[in-house]
């Protein structure tokens, strides 16, 4: 099933997408995150969806504004594509290869859950940035609480998937990460989710013998193709990522885990590293980025001008007096 959150005639609703392109509202539901939390995993959500499909039909999906399908309480963004790591590393510091530490575990950082945007929303340029980039990812959503999970157990904790564009201000990101912390404002302005949450059962036919989802990924800017890859080129499965995320802590319903950016043009920075020049150029107002994931759908966002940064002083060089 495909769950959508949408706005229509100033009302916010959660619905299941029918085969006819119509939306079937879930009675009494205004938040997919809360709907996921109120059940116990995939079977419960599928039951709610079946009830909605048997009920009154709503508007066509073409008639509404698609909102982010859910508002995740946490977003862990992983980096699981070796080709992406290699290309971006060359772009940032000119170094070749992949750091050996990358192979040890599926590394992630926490990003901003308040910055999520819908499948067709405009994306503002982050304040102070002149090197805006997109990042083509897929995100898995947790449907059941768990701690110290094995990958086998984690399979039952993934409730669905969505397309994830982790917009990145490369100049801000590069500067702030010299402090060996972050990224912070380099990844803080926008993250596209959508167009739907596709339940995990729908993507099982794409699973290969090694447990990876073999989905085709494509990216274009202003209608010109810039990247394509397979999700199965990840170096860890989503189940392994969930297991690692739950190590020594808890994952809860609604938590989101990004795959990390795919290779072969999944972002501009990787191409800059491979080609040794900023081509295609950084995104600017008026550019439209379209990302498609087989079996999930397409998101397409236009970049618009952002706000100017509010001035702040540089750090004070303080004395080091002691009491």
Q: Bridge partners of 169?
A: 132
Smallest CA-to-CA distance from 168 within 159, 177, 178, 158 is with 177
Query: Quick one: 80 and 39 in the same domain?
Result: no
Give the per-residue pLDDT at 178: 87
What is the C-alpha separation between 253 and 270, in angstroms, rounded? 33
Query: Quick one: 142 and 278 in the same domain?
Result: yes
Q: Report residues of the chain scoring pLDDT below 50.
A: none
Residue 321 lies in a domain: no
Query: Quick one: 82 and 57 in the same domain?
Result: no
| Residue 183 preceded by cis peptide, ω within 30 | yes
For the chain, what is the largest distance between any 2 Cα atoms, rounded to a whole number of angstroms? 73
Write out pLDDT tens, residues 287-311: 999 999 999 999 999 999 999 999 9
What is the C-alpha separation between 243 and 249, in angstroms, rounded? 10
Give the per-residue pLDDT at 135: 98
Total domain count for the chain?
2
Query: Quick one: 42 and 137 in the same domain?
Result: no
Query: Quick one: 87 and 60 in the same domain?
Result: no
Residues 273/203, Cβ–Cβ less than 8 Å: no
Provide the residue range defining the domain that includes 95: 75-304
Query: Quick one: 221 and 95 in the same domain?
Result: yes
Residue 88 lies in a domain: yes
Give the per-residue pLDDT at 96: 78
Query: Quick one: 27 and 95 in the same domain?
Result: no
Residue 315 lies in a domain: no
HSE of 182, CA atoms in CB hemisphere, 13 A: 18
What is the C-alpha separation between 77 and 182, in angstroms, rounded? 12
Residue 320 lies in a domain: no
Domain of residue 230, CATH code = 3.90.850.10
Q: Which residue has the tokens 């860890």?
A: 236
The pTM of the full predicted model, rounded to 2 decimals, is 0.97
CA distances from 161 to 44, 83, 194 (A): 16, 22, 9
Residues 66/89, Cβ–Cβ less than 8 Å: no
Query: Quick one: 59 and 167 in the same domain?
Result: no
Give the per-residue pLDDT at 101: 96
Query: Quick one: 140 and 93 in the same domain?
Result: yes
């Amino acid at each position: 099933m495909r769950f959508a959150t949408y706005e229509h005639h100033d009302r916010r609703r959660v619905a299941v997408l029918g085969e006819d392109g119509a939306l079937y509202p879930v009675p009494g539901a205004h938040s997919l995150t809360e709907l996921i939390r109120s059940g116990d995993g995939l079977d419960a959500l599928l039951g709610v969806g079946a009830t909605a499909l048997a009920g009154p039909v709503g508007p066509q999906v073409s008639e509404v504004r698609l909102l982010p399908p859910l508002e995740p309480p946490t977003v862990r963004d992983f980096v699981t594509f070796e080709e992406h790591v290699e290309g971006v590393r060359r772009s940032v510091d000119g170094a070749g290869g992949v750091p050996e530490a990358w192979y040890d575990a599926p590394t992630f950082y926490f990003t901003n859950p308040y910055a999520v945007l819908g499948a067709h929303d405009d994306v503002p340029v982050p304040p102070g940035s002149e090197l805006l980039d997109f990042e083509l990812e897929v995100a898995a959503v947790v449907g059941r609480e768990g701690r110290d999970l094995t990958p086998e157990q984690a399979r039952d904790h993934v409730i669905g998937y969505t397309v994830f564009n982790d917009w990145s201000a490369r100049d801000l990101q590069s500067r702030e990460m010299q402090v060996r912390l972050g990224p912070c404002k380099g990844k803080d302005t926008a993250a596209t989710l959508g167009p739907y949450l596709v339940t995990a059962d729908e993507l099982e036919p794409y699973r290969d013998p090694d447990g990876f989802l073999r989905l085709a990924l494509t990216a274009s800017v202003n209608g010109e193709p810039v990247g394509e890859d397979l999700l199965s080129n990840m170096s860890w499965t989503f189940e392994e990522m969930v297991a690692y995320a739950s190590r020594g802590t808890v994952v809860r319903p609604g938590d989101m885990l990004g795959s990390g950016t795919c290779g072969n043009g999944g972002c501009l920075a990787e191409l800059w590293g491979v080609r040794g020049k900023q081509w295609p150029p950084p995104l600017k107002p008026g550019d439209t980025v379209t990302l498609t994931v087989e079996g999930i759908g397409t998101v397409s966002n236009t970049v618009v001008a952002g706000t100017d940064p509010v001035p702040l002083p540089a750090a004070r060089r303080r004395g080091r007096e002691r009491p």
